[in-house]
Chain A
Amino acid sequence: MRGQAAVMDALIFMLLASGAATLLFFASSLYASSTNDQLTSIYNDEYANNAVIALHYAQDTRSTWFWNEIRGIADNQDSVETYLNGYAKEVWTNITSSSPAGERTFLCFEGSIVPYCCGGSTGNVDCHLSETPSGYERMTTYTSSVRISDITTAVLKLYY
């Protein structure tokens, strides 16, 4: 009987050790994942902030400053769409090719105007009346904004 009790004790100990090991495996798989996610978020925000700053130095093919041109036409989404597909095509290529979100990068306009967002591949940029592009409502957004006039704020949005 004494031997059976010892075996039972050992089995219970093994059960406890297995439980502790499972907990350790579980904890190790979760460890630092939220920190790394936060660092990735920080990177996306920094990308957006730096891109908005870089766009202050951007010129279109006519050597007009990008934000200056946008400021004049921002209240008309069709003009912005034409501009991004035409003279500012290269600027848009630079944005989408450098962005970690690729073609899920949008340039949106808000403020006293009806909000709209422009995005898409080079030469095929579409602008839609909405603060959030359709189909992207549930995605995580990283944004950086710049006030380009008294009534308009341009927002660079990255969707994941």
Chain B
Amino acid sequence: MKKAFLGPIGDDLPSIIALMLALGIFFSAITYTMEVYNQKIAETETLKGSLEIGRAVMDKGLLTSIDNPVADHVAFSYGLSHKEFLDNVPDGECVKSYRYNYLVAMQEPGGVNLHTLIICTEVKK
């Protein structure tokens, strides 16, 4: 039995479905990859920025204050916000941030004391 002629598209319909599916898979993969790629670049930049902020804060070895204008400048250039805490992080802080600890010597009224400096960084919203 001879199959009826369905037209130029109708004849190739099964192959068109397969082609569209293949193109769909391919472009979905590209979109997903670009999303992951951008996400990872942002993550790497945040990590780099966090380390730079740490370097800026720790620059002098002996700290007199945890507020550091150079660290603010570095954070701004990386598009990050940062917060520094001594020894403990209050509840609700630093939850979704990158967190880096450093052992620091701090000049205080009673003398020099060792503390854990916790630097929390996150991408500025």
**Which A residues are closer than 8 A to B by beta carbons?**
2-3, 6-7, 9-11, 13-14, 16-18, 20-22, 24-25, 27-29, 31-32, 35-36, 39-40, 42-43, 46-47, 50-51, 53-59, 63, 90-91, 94-95, 97-100
Contact = CB atoms under 8 A, between A and B. Distances in A.
Given A3-B11, A46-B55, A99-B101, A94 B114 contact: yes
A18 B47 contact: no
A35 to B, nearest CB: 5
Contacts of B14: 3, 6-7, 10
Contacts of B104: 50, 54
Contact of B15 (A3, A35, A54, A99): A3
B51 to A, nearest CB: 6
B32 A25 contact: yes
**Range of interface residues on chain B?**
35 or more
Contact of B115 (A20, A43, A94): A94
A57 B114 contact: yes
B33 A24 contact: yes
A6 B36 CA distance: 35
Contact of B32 (A28, A31, A47): A28
Nearest to B102: A50
Nearest to A52: B103
B116 interface: yes
Given A11-B18, A14-B21, A54-B103, A28 B26 contact: no
Contact of B22 (A13, A43, A46, A97): A13
A59 B111 contact: yes
Given A10-B22, A36-B47, A46-B54, A31 B16 contact: no
What 9 pairs across the A-B complex have the smallest Cβ distances?
Answer: A57-B105, A21-B29, A10-B18, A14-B22, A98-B116, A17-B22, A6-B15, A10-B15, A51-B103
A24 B29 contact: yes
A11 B19 CA distance: 8
